[in-house]
């Protein structure tokens, strides 16, 4: 099962954390989403049919794009 931990610079409060977790967890195949407002880091675990591109697109759509490494 793929997983990725990444920074989302726009996270600044509990509401941001909930928005990120709720949006990503709605994607079919996503099994875990954990966000932290203090570190601005998000960890996502997923399986088929979810893809990293879908996760990234969902976050970008709600104005919480992942930081580009």
pLDDT digits (tens, 9 = 90+) for 39-62: 999 999 999 999 999 999 999 999
Percentages helix, strand, coil for the chain (3-state, rounded to 5) are: 30, 25, 40
Domain ranges, residue 30: 1-44
Give the total number of structural domains in the chain: 1
Residue 49 resides in a domain: no
- Predicted pLDDT of residue 63: 97
Is the pLDDT at 68 greater than 80? The verdict is no
Residue 68 resides in a domain: no
Say which CATH number the domain at 36 has: 3.30.70.100
Q: What is the pTM of this model?
A: 0.93
The rounded radius of gyration (Å) of the Cα atoms in the chain is 11
pLDDT digits (tens, 9 = 90+) for 2-14: 999 999 999 999 9
Is the pLDDT at 69 greater than 90? The verdict is no
pLDDT digits (tens, 9 = 90+) for 6-38: 999 999 999 999 999 999 999 999 999 999 999
């Amino acid at each position: 099962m793929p997983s990725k931990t990444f920074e989302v610079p726009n996270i600044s409060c509990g509401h941001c954390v909930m928005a990120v977790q709720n949006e990503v967890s709605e994607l079919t195949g996503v099994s875990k989403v954990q966000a932290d407002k203090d570190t601005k880091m998000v960890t996502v675990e997923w399986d088929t049919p979810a893809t990293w591109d879908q996760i990234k697109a969902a976050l970008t759509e709600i104005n919480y794009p992942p930081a580009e490494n």
